[in-house]
A and B are shown apart, each in its own frame.
Chain A
């Protein structure tokens, strides 16, 4: 009955079903297309990432590396600069230490030489200075007499003093006495010279007059050469030892004994 009464209803339902099916098919078709489009897009993006991504990252890393390298170089430059400054300070410190050592030696040499009127004590001080500050183990003190002739030298060795028959006519001694300038063997000469040979001659001068000389014969075992400090000490000894000896001799002879009241405070 129903089939006969509603043949159109079935047909319309079929039609409706077909419509729905058709829409479903269209929707599915659309989805497939969209899916295809998205997959294509994904592929495109993947390709783009593969093509651009690593190089961009690499570029970033390169830039970062470059900055780090620059910083590293700056730090290295700064370290180099600080090291150089440190080296300069160390060198300057060493120079100041050497100057201080020199000044200390010169001060003590002067102070000690003028601390007594006793000639023997002065010679002992000269010996101490030559031994302890210079490293000269054996030396002779040669003084000129009133005629300008060299008297027999007084040899000092390890605290003992004795008159010896040393050659006062050695050319180096004569030359030093005439010129008033010291002669010091350099390192090469020292290595060639024998134990008893003259190593240095220092003129003893007062008021530009050479009154004698200090002649160094033997140095301590490890003393291989004379230094700048030794030369300064020789220069100082040349003047101050001579003056100390002269003062002591004058004092001993009574000429140099002074009285403040008579010598300084009274009117002429």
Chain B
């Protein structure tokens, strides 16, 4: 059975923990965490991931910039990206999707929703 690698980019430790908590229910999943877009990008350049879950609102390199850089990087341009947006922030969501994000999750976050979207993206 193949192992999936997921990168979670979120500056809030609470939310990061919640996302990781939800994702851990998928078998054969290796999760890497980053506290901002820069950290996420470093991890993306160092190894291959099957999915990136990123918050949009982050102080050091936000999720929109990260999505844009991922899509313009030949090494990781094809990795599916899920963005986390605040409810009602349709502009951010639309921008993220236009930049190449594959799916979005809105706050307040439900672990079932994270799991559903991650499974869909990974095809498991």
In the bound complex, what is the Cα–Cα distance between A97 and B115 (angstroms)? Answer: 10
The answer to whether A101 touches B110, judged by C-beta atoms less than 8 angstroms apart, is: yes
Q: How far is the CB of A25 from chain B (nearest CB, A)?
A: 99
Chain B residues contacting A115 (CB-CB under 8 Å) are: 13
The size of the chain A interface, using a CB distance under 8 A, is: 24
> What residues of chain B lie closer than 8 Å to A104, measured between beta carbons?
18, 21-22, 111
Residues of B within 8 A of A108 (CB): 14, 17-18, 21
* Inter-chain contact total with CB atoms closer than 8 Å: 58
Q: 0/1 per residue, B1-43, Cβ < 8 Å to A?
A: 0000000000011110110011000000000000000000000
Give CA–CA (A220, B109) in the complex, Å. 12
B107 / chain A contacts, CB cutoff of 8 Å = 131-132, 135, 220
A182 to chain B, nearest CB (A): 18
Residue B74 at the A interface, CB < 8 A? no
CB-defined contacts of A128 to chain B, threshold 8 Å: 12, 14-15
A104-B111, A108-B21, A220-B108 known; A132-B88 Cβ under 8 A: no
Q: How large is the interface on B (under 10, 10 to 19, 20 to 34, 35 or more residues)?
A: 10 to 19
Q: 0/1 per residue, B93-111, Cβ < 8 Å to A?
A: 0000000000000111111
B108–A100 touching, CB < 8 Å: no
Are B18 and A105 neighbours in the complex by a CB distance under 8 Å? yes
Question: Which residues in window 110-124 of A have CB below 8 A to B?
Answer: 111-112, 115
Tell me the bound Cα distance from A100 to B110 in angstroms.
Answer: 10
Which residues of chain A are within 8 angstroms of B124 by Cβ–Cβ distance?
A: none
> Measuring CB to CB, which residues of chain B are less than 8 angstroms from any residue of chain A?
12-15, 17-18, 21-22, 86-88, 106-112
23 A-B pairs with C-beta separation under 8 A: A98-B112, A100-B112, A101-B111, A101-B112, A105-B18, A107-B21, A111-B17, A112-B17, A128-B12, A131-B107, A132-B14, A132-B18, A132-B107, A132-B109, A133-B109, A134-B108, A135-B87, A135-B108, A220-B87, A221-B88, A222-B87, A222-B88, A222-B106
